[in-house]
Amino acid sequence: MANHKSAIKRIRSNDAKRVLNKYQHKTTRNAIRNLRSLSDKVEASSLFPRVTAMIDKLAKRNIIHANKAANLKSGLQVHLNTL
């Protein structure tokens, strides 16, 4: 158990950040899965900018690595082009 007041506060803030990061990451993964499951090009192309924005936001906040974000966006763009 933490002995210092600042360490106790740090534990609390880390838990809050962990829950938020987990929520954002899971929401983005679900959006990616939904985009990949679409077969309609119009619907997929309208969803694509929102999903890429979510991926960029995760990369900016260091929830995922920047290279992983680029790889995901590239794969989604390839999927969109094949529709």
**Which tens digit of pLDDT belongs to each residue from 66-80?**
999 999 999 999 999
* Amino acid identity at 75: G
Q: Per-residue pLDDT tens for 33-55?
A: 999 999 999 999 999 999 999 99
Q: What is the pLDDT of residue 56?
A: 98
Global pTM value: 0.89
Closest CA to 27 of 53, 46, 45, 60: 53
What residue ranges define each of the domains in the chain, with the CATH number in brackets?
Answer: 5-82 (1.20.58.110)
Tell me what pLDDT residue 1 has. 79
pLDDT (0 to 100) of residue 2: 85
Query: What is the distance between the alpha carbons of residues 23 and 17, in angstroms, rounded to a whole number?
Result: 10
